Structure 1
């Protein structure tokens, strides 16, 4: 299935004020966070380079609002040839649906395990939030291949800007099935508001600190 561009005119008219305030919050928070966390960015970058030579930032094309592709950034937590090794590990996939997950994925580097457990690998996405490709809160963006492989993929999920944090992050993360993940995203889309966004952001703090379901 190929994703057609989704019209967001109805969404914008209904949630116009909310989206304007949400965008303002995204810009303010991401800008300040990038400034304050700059020393941490430098430290993580130095450790990745010192312990596992290669690219510091991992780039990947993900599907955003309206089915448009954008560049997704993470601190690299896997070996440089991780994508090539993925096919060889396909039979060990522990996740449901079209996504690939392994608790003890051999492609993850020692520093990468720490970055993933603490979600520090996701910090570069603050740049995507500042640019407008992502929001602080919203459904996590999928790969085009994952969308194509899932029969009956809910295109409503692509009617909003993808996020850095969503219900999945506070409800079990990688321990959730793909189907449950989609259900939570649709629930968010149908009930989204500034109050909902702030609640998710606040609840994400203990979820990240505890690292439950993160791998």
Structure 2
């Protein structure tokens, strides 16, 4: 099954990058005018707990601390960033991470190395046995990284029950706008 999923990941990542190329260019230009630095790179915990560099469109001011989204001040998010987060367009560059084999389209969202509580919960559930993903059960159900044990449990459930049908289901409901992913909480 995992070889089939990997093949689908590669095919969809290539198609997604080719089809969205004009949009990627426009978002890069808008991001440049918004923050001067349209792409955001951050070290995340990958498969087997190994680090990789996640790439997204920048949604927060460049000087924002490297924290989980729910710990960041809402004022850190730029107006363009709010739009990108709401439409999930900030995730498009992660198709490159999928193509490189660092991520899957469907899997547990990759966390930061400073999210110790989530890392420990995920270790207990065997979540790091798989590639992290752009979307998954936690995202479509609106569970973010502010509830580490709940999220790790949902990640494990998703991994245990992942089928071809569920793979497509998670992708389709994400594209249709279900779920909120990692929210910036108002303080």
TM-score (norm 2): 0.87
Rg comparison, structure with higher value: 1
1:154 equivalent in alignment to 2:137: no
Equivalent residues of 2:106, 2:171 under 8 A apart: yes
Q: Which residue of 2 aligns with 1:43?
A: 26
1:51 deviation in Å?
A: 2.7
Structure 1 counterpart of 2:35, from 46, 52, 68: 52
Q: Which residue of 2 aligns with 1:118?
A: 87
Of 171-180 and 68-77, more deviation after overlay is shown by 171-180
Which runs of 5 or more structure 1 residues have no equivalent in the other structure?
1-17, 87-98
Q: CA RMSD in A?
A: 2.4
Q: Which residue of 1 aligns with 2:7?
A: 24
Cα distance in 2, alignment partners of residues 102 and 118 from structure 1: 21
TM-score (norm 1): 0.76
Give SS of 2:75's match. Answer: coil
Equivalent residues of 2:118, 2:148 under 8 A apart: no
Cα distance in 1, alignment partners of residues 175 and 169 from structure 2: 10
* Structure-2 change in CA distance of 1:166 and 1:178 (3 Å): same
Cα distance in 2, alignment partners of residues 212 and 152 from structure 1: 21
Cα distance in 2, alignment partners of residues 71 and 57 from structure 1: 12
Aligned length: 182
